[in-house]
Structure 1
């Protein structure tokens, strides 16, 4: 499982830093590079619920092997024949990596339930470290030739495929049918929603195109809910969406991801800004920025491995609230103390620590609050909340930057960062408030299973 998650982290970490240099070499402009990134986000949103549900229906190991083959094929295609077309197809296939974690947790909960919490915390830690290492390795390989870094994921892909064939399958009960109509509605609604979030700042949030697409997304998703409630074989059970524990965990995940993941791009911009020209920043180069990012994910690894201990000592609710509090503390620290590199890095490490904690505890709880045959889908819903939180966080921060751009230049005023840090801290505090509403008791190893709702009751 760790090898599979290592592959996922490498794929998530290696391509984005290479896009500017590779795009220049392949004559792909800024708009084209942005469209490639957008394709990956759309693929993440669509494949998360579909792969998770198919895994619950037809077997977690079977769908994991399919997802591994898709991601490995996309990685090989990008490396062998890099072009605008192969990059677009490759990142779309790589989007299947969002199914890795839900499917792995489905196997883990079924085959080794006593190791569910420590196993998930270890996998989250490996994922975070791999994301940081992927960027560093790809950057080192690309120093002499831009396209050499595109091979970073290929050797790891071979190891992950081998791991997928030796993993045991889950023995969770299966059954039911795949609802193609609901899948089409959900896919259309998520595509429209992610497109609005990704392109809203570029198109303008008040333009007719943005408003029309946002209304379409909401209308299609509302129609999807109606269809699911009337279906004998729903794609995503409405009862699951009304599960108060899963709702709290998913809402908390959204709020925590808003800042911890949504601010990653802006974090690199601040570290790279020159104080002599912008009036703020650290003036660091790509290698130094990558090193600080690696330090953040190392802190995340520590937070992830500490999570089971904290949950046992303090309880699930306190562990959730601690993650939100640490995220808020880190961003408030950035807003108040960002004049020196030591101050800023200390605050960034707090955010990194909180990232590991929240990603571990939310994936654990989302698996435990549903029946075993719905494990992958519940974790998939949490993954989708994480992706949407990160996308909306990045969009909001981008809007602040656009509003505080210095007239006649491409530079951002320091006030834009202050508003961004403040927004991230506020979102984390909202998540902390949600965490305090989580029904938890001491003795965090308890596995909560919600009984089926009677008579279609909704919370």
Structure 2
């Protein structure tokens, strides 16, 4: 399982830093590079619920092997014949990595439920570390030849294919029918939503195209809910969305991801900004920025591995709320202490620690909030909340940056960063408030517990 997650992390970490150099080498414009990144975000959003649901219906291991094959094929395609077309096709295939975590947790929960929490925390730690390592390795490989870094994921993909063959089967497939109509509505709605979030700052948030696409997303997703409610074989049970534990955890995930992941790009910009030119920043080069990013994911690894022990001692709700509190503390620290590199890095490490903590505990609680046969879908919905939180966070921060540009220059004013850090802190505090509403299953009475055991619903 760790080898499979290693591939997912490497793929998430290696391509984005390479795109500017590779785009220049392959004569891909900045717009083209942005479109490739946009395609990957659309693929993530679409494949998350589809792979998770198909795994619950037809077997987690079967769908996991399909997902591994897609990611491996996309990675090989990009490396062997790099071009604008193959990069676009490759990142779409690599989008199947979003199915890794939900499907692996489905296998883990059915085969070794007693190791569910420890296993998830280890996988989250491996994921975070591999994202940081992927960027460093790709950067080192591409120093002399930009396209050499595109081979970073290929050896790991080969190992993951072998690991997929060796993995044991999960529980018996649930069976049932796949609702294609609901899948089309959900896919179209998510595509429209991701396009709005990714391109809104480019088109203009009040532009007719942006507003029309946002309205279309709302209509399509509303139609999807209506279809699911009347379906005998829903793609995603709407009752699951009203599960109070799953709703709280997913809402918290959205709020935490808003800052911790949504601000990653802006973090690199601040570290690289020249103080003499802008009045702020650390003036670091790519290698130093990558080293700080690796330190942050190492702190995340520590937070993830500590999570099972902390939940045993403090309880799920306390750890969930602590994760939000740490995120808020880190960003408030950036608002107050960002003049020296030491101060800023300490705050960044607090955010990194909180990232490992919240990613581990939310995935664990999402899996445990539903019956075993719905595990992959529940974790998949939490992954979708994470992706949307990160996308909206990046869009909001981008809007603050666009509104705070130093007159007569192209530089972002320091106030843009202050507003961005403040927004991340406030959103994290909102997530902490949600976390305090979380109730462990032990707080329900005995009669309700018997009903939950039979139905798998916690609404």
- TM-score, structure 1 as length reference: 0.97
Matched with 2:144 is 144
* 1:186 and 2:182 are equivalent in the alignment: no
Matched with 2:240 is 240
Q: Distance in 1 between the 2:150 and 2:354 partners?
A: 31
Matched with 2:440 is 440
Matched with 2:358 is 358
Residue deviations 1:293-352, cap 9 Å, x none?
A: 000000000000000011000100000000000000000000000000000000000000
What is the correspondence of 1:278-293 to structure 2 with a 5 Å cutoff?
278-293=278-293
Q: Say if 1:60 and 1:107, in contact at 8 Å, map to a contact too.
A: yes
Matched with 2:196 is 196
Matched with 1:340 is 340
Matched with 2:125 is 125
Q: Say if 1:317 and 1:440, in contact at 8 Å, map to a contact too.
A: yes
What is the correspondence of 1:19-58 to structure 2 with a 5 Å cutoff?
19-58=19-58
Matched with 1:303 is 303
Question: Structure 1 unaligned runs (5+)?
Answer: none
Matched with 2:431 is 431
What is the correspondence of 1:71-90 to structure 2 with a 5 Å cutoff?
71-90=71-90
Q: Distance in 2 between the 1:173 and 1:438 partners?
A: 30
Question: What CA RMSD, in Å, does the superposition of the two structures yield over aligned residues?
Answer: 1.5
> Displacement of 1:84 after TM fit?
0.4
Q: Distance in 2 between the 1:283 and 1:61 partners?
A: 47
Matched with 2:452 is 451
Matched with 2:105 is 105
Q: Say if 1:243 and 1:450, in contact at 8 Å, map to a contact too.
A: no
The 1:449/1:99 distance shift into structure 2, 3 A limit, reads farther
Q: Say if 1:172 and 1:372, in contact at 8 Å, map to a contact too.
A: no
> Displacement of 1:385 after TM fit?
0.1
> Displacement of 1:450 after TM fit?
7.6
Q: Secondary structure at the match of 1:412?
A: coil
Q: Distance in 2 between the 1:308 and 1:321 partners?
A: 15
Q: Distance in 1 between the 2:407 and 2:51 partners?
A: 46
Q: Distance in 2 between the 1:449 and 1:100 partners?
A: 32
Q: Distance in 2 between the 1:184 and 1:254 partners?
A: 24
Matched with 1:329 is 329
Q: Distance in 2 between the 1:284 and 1:191 partners?
A: 36
Question: Structure 2 unaligned runs (5+)?
Answer: 444-448
Q: Secondary structure at the match of 2:232?
A: coil
> Displacement of 1:386 after TM fit?
0.1
Q: Secondary structure at the match of 1:451?
A: helix
> Displacement of 1:291 after TM fit?
0.1
Q: Say if 2:11 and 2:134, in contact at 8 Å, map to a contact too.
A: yes
Q: Say if 2:292 and 2:345, in contact at 8 Å, map to a contact too.
A: yes
Residue deviations 1:193-219, cap 9 Å, x none?
A: 000000000000001000000000000
The 1:399/1:450 distance shift into structure 2, 3 A limit, reads farther
Q: Distance in 2 between the 1:265 and 1:334 partners?
A: 15
Q: Secondary structure at the match of 1:331?
A: helix
What is the correspondence of 1:213-292 to structure 2 with a 5 Å cutoff?
213-292=213-292
> Displacement of 1:441 after TM fit?
7.1
> Displacement of 1:108 after TM fit?
0.1
> Displacement of 1:366 after TM fit?
0.2
> Displacement of 1:224 after TM fit?
0.3
- TM-score, structure 2 as length reference: 0.97
* 1:414 and 2:384 are equivalent in the alignment: no
> Displacement of 1:171 after TM fit?
1.4
> Displacement of 1:409 after TM fit?
1.6
Residue deviations 1:23-76, cap 9 Å, x none?
A: 011111111110000000000000000000000000000000000000000000
The 1:243/1:440 distance shift into structure 2, 3 A limit, reads same
Q: Distance in 1 between the 2:19 and 2:427 partners?
A: 30
